[in-house]
Amino acid sequence: MQRFILKRKNHITLISAILIVIGFIAKLGFKNETAATLPLAIASLLGLAPIAIQAYQALLVKVVSIDVLVTIAVIGAFLIKNLEESAIVTFLFLFGSFLEQRTLSKTRSAIKELTEMAPESALKQVENGEFEEVDVDEVDVGDILLVKTGAKVPVDGTVLKGEGHINEASITGEAAAVGKKKGSKVYAGTILENGTIQIIADRVGEDTTFGKIIELVEKAQDSKSEAERFIDKFSKYYTPVVLVLSAVVWIFSRNTELAITMLVLGCPGALVIGVPVSNVAGIGNGARHGVLLKGSEVIHDFSRTDTIVFDKTGTLTVGKPKVVDMQIYAQNSDEVLAYLASVEGESDHPLAKAIVEHIGNIKLYSVEKTDVIKGGGVVARVNGHRVAVGNVFLMEQENVQLSEKALSDIQRFENVGSSLVLTAIDGQLKALVGIRDQIRPKVAENLKKLKKLGVKSLVVLSGDNQKAVDLAAQELGLTKAYGGMLPKDKSEYIEKLKDEGKIVAFVGDGVNDSPSLALAQIGIAMGNGTDVAIETSDVVLMNSEFDRLPHALGLAKATARNMRQNIIIAVGVVLVLLASVLFGEWMNMSIGMLVHEASILAVIINGMRLLRYRLKY
């Protein structure tokens, strides 16, 4: 019976409204008090049913909820034969609940849009080589799939055949189509705008980037900030206090109607709902714009950030460095380059890829006993020789003597901002490579936006040489720049900033800087949707576009500000209503409940403004 009644709350609200109208027509139109009594009494009892059930369910788990207050107030009004008040109060409470759910569903629209983007079917290659439509859950890693124009990509995969342009807005927040060809990575939930491609499934189901985005956003909605936890605790004790206050008012005044009115007007509905609706709307806005904010606690901390620390390569720069200079200190340069390419071919580091690309096709040797030196480079056994490839720090560890010519070349390369990769074979320096990366477009402009948003200090920490880091910092207008930093040095610097009372956000690629991402109050990954980026950071900029960072910070600040506004609205309305009951003569239950429900709608509508938030400068 309880479930039956609760499922029909909206129908009960409509019937109550009709009965109240009939009652007032009988009373005011036909001056018939007796005829008005029955519809108003039925409206009161009918409207009270779902409210009383919710109150009972709350009391079962030892919670004195808002429904308890309203139930007591309506029963009291009914007993003193104030049927107009009891009928109107129940209707307004139910109607307010209806509007609350409708408007709240709109704040979750961004999340709903995400889940609706999830692909449901796929064209899978079967044994005879034909493609057959199957449920997306039936696709396994390694399956070959066909994607046609206008269709959703069903899984994360790699293009095997064909070319086309894909709209990746569901992943990156950017609607501009991205060209794809053989070897390109594609993501579930994106849409092939033109062309036809065959892909091999790399990740399926919940393991896809899109699946993880949905999971993270849903978790973020359910997380609670410090403000929400305080409000939950406040409401838990506030409601019994209102009951006691009403009892005290009745004891001293013997005015039952006044005491019942106190119960109705003391309901903290807007306070309870104001902060969560701001969080949901803020997280939804971020999801639409390729920014993942992992919960309300993250929003709270991020909004107070006063120091942002950046990794350089792949964060402030494009992350696709190129060889701009090379010096060989040996007669057999081809053999040196072959050793260098063989070692660097084993690495996924951007500098290693740049070297392999620059050297091009060359005879390669098998690489054995590879030893990665953290913050230094790689030492390996190649064709019976000990080959060390890395920075000056690694050369010092390997006791490699640097000639005056080599030292002069190193200085020259550093003066133009190049990163250095040195190669030693059997303890002798054989090659020096200068590599430079391009600064991301509009980074300087976006750093200015961060300063306007209240960030006082912008710092770059990099493993590159100090000169290269200084040149980048000077070009971008950064506050401080530190080069030659090992991962441990970066972590120690962040700890130092935290000890000084700074609220620190660290921006990195989510792979090499995971210790720093974890240590900072806010870890921000320029991740292109990679697994490591999503898992290790608090904020993910899904398309790795730097201009998403000012939007993310501005959104966090706007959301935190919106929460405070909602708290002020909620508390202010309750105080005004209670003061009006105690010290004014115009206030009654119906007016009070109308204002009360209006305050709930006010905080919801205020929160919904965040769905349209865009940074103004």
pLDDT digits (tens, 9 = 90+) for 371-416: 888 778 899 999 899 999 998 889 999 999 999 999 999 999 888 8
Strand partners, 390: 377, 422
Which range is most confident: 108-117, 284-293, 604-613? Answer: 604-613
The yes-or-no verdict on residue 109 having pLDDT over 70 is: no
The arithmetic mean of pLDDT across residues 138-146, rounded, is 92
Q: b/e map of 411-420 (b: 16 or more CB within 10 Å)?
A: eebbeebbbb
pLDDT of residue 213: 65
Average pLDDT over residues 44-59: 88
Indicate the CATH number of 322-436 among 3.30.160.20, 3.40.1110.10, 3.30.360.10, 3.40.640.10: 3.40.1110.10
Q: How far is 453 from 455, CA to CA, in rounded Å?
A: 6
Judge whether 611 and 280 are in contact, CB under 8 Å: no
Q: In the chain, what is the straight-line distance between the N-terminal and C-terminal CA atoms, in Å?
A: 56
pLDDT at 340 over 90: yes
Rg (CA), the chain: 33
Q: 142 by DSSP, 3-state: which?
A: coil
Question: Mean pLDDT highest for which of 222-226, 291-295, 413-417, 489-493?
Answer: 489-493
Closest alpha carbon to 589 in 36, 580, 64, 251: 580
What was the pLDDT predicted at 178? 79
* Most confident listed range (76-90, 207-221, 465-479, 583-597): 465-479
**Residue 265: what pLDDT?**
74
Instruction: Give the closest residue to 539 by CA, choosing from 185, 294, 352.
Output: 294
In this prediction, residue 465 has a pLDDT band, given cuts at 50, 70 and 90, of: confident
> Is pLDDT of 102 > 80?
no
Q: What is the pLDDT of residue 606?
A: 92
Nearest to residue 122, comparing CAs of 175, 186, 58?
186
Q: In which residue ranges of the chain is CATH 3.40.1110.10 found?
A: 322-436
Domain with CATH 2.70.150.10 in the chain: 120-154+156-203
At position 514, the amino acid (one-letter code) is: S
57 phi and psi angles, rounded to 5 deg: -65, -35
Distance CA 533, CA 545 (A): 14
Classified as helix, coil or strand, 615 is coil
Nearest to 613, CA basis, from 198, 254, 293: 293
pLDDT (0 to 100) of residue 581: 78
Cα separation, 165 vs 179, in Å, equals: 4
> In the predicted model, what is the mean pLDDT of the chain?
83
120-154+156-203 CATH, one of 3.40.50.620, 2.130.10.10, 2.70.150.10, 3.30.1490.20: 2.70.150.10
From the candidates 311, 437, 464, 509, which is the catalytic residue? Answer: 311
Q: Are 479 and 455 in contact (CB under 8 A)?
A: no
In the prediction, which pLDDT does 470 show? 87
Closest alpha carbon to 83 in 10, 11, 29, 22: 22
pLDDT of residue 448: 94
Residue 342 has a pLDDT of 92
- pLDDT number for residue 554: 95
Distance of alpha carbon 511 from alpha carbon 131, whole angstroms: 37
pLDDT value, residue 529: 44
Q: CA 373, CA 568: separation in Å to the nearest integer?
A: 55
| pLDDT above 70: residue 174 | no
Q: What is the mean pLDDT of residues 508-531?
A: 72
In tens, the pLDDT along 295-332 reads 778 888 899 999 999 988 778 887 678 899 999 999 88
Dihedrals φ, ψ of 49, to 5°? Answer: -55, -55
Residue type, 605: I
Q: Over pLDDT 70: what percentage of the chain? A: 88
- Greatest mean pLDDT among 218-222, 557-561, 608-612: 557-561
Nearest Cα to Cα of residue 148 among 210, 87, 195: 195
Using CA atoms, how far apart are residues 380 and 559, in angstroms rounded to an integer?
Answer: 51
Residue with tokens 């959104």, as numbered in its chain:
555
> 494-512 pLDDT, tens per residue?
999 999 999 999 998 755 5
Name which of 70-79, 294-303, 510-519 the model is least confident about. 510-519
Confidence of residue 418 (pLDDT cuts 50, 70, 90): confident
Strands (E), 229-336: 291-293, 307-311, 322-328
Share of the chain above pLDDT 90, in %: 27
Which range has the worst mean pLDDT, 160-169, 210-219, 239-248?
210-219
Q: Which residues are within 8 A (CB) of 149 and not within 5 positions of it... i.e. 6 or more apart?
A: 164, 192, 193, 194, 195, 196
Asked if 527 and 537 touch (Cβ cutoff 8 Å), the reply is yes
Alpha-carbon distance of 68 to 505, in angstroms, equals 44
pLDDT at 111 over 60: no
pLDDT (mean) for 226-236? 65
The arithmetic mean of pLDDT across residues 358-369, rounded, is 89
Query: Is 156 one of the catalytic residues?
Result: no
Per-residue pLDDT averaged across 179-190, rounded?
87
Contact 508, 516 (CB under 8 A): yes
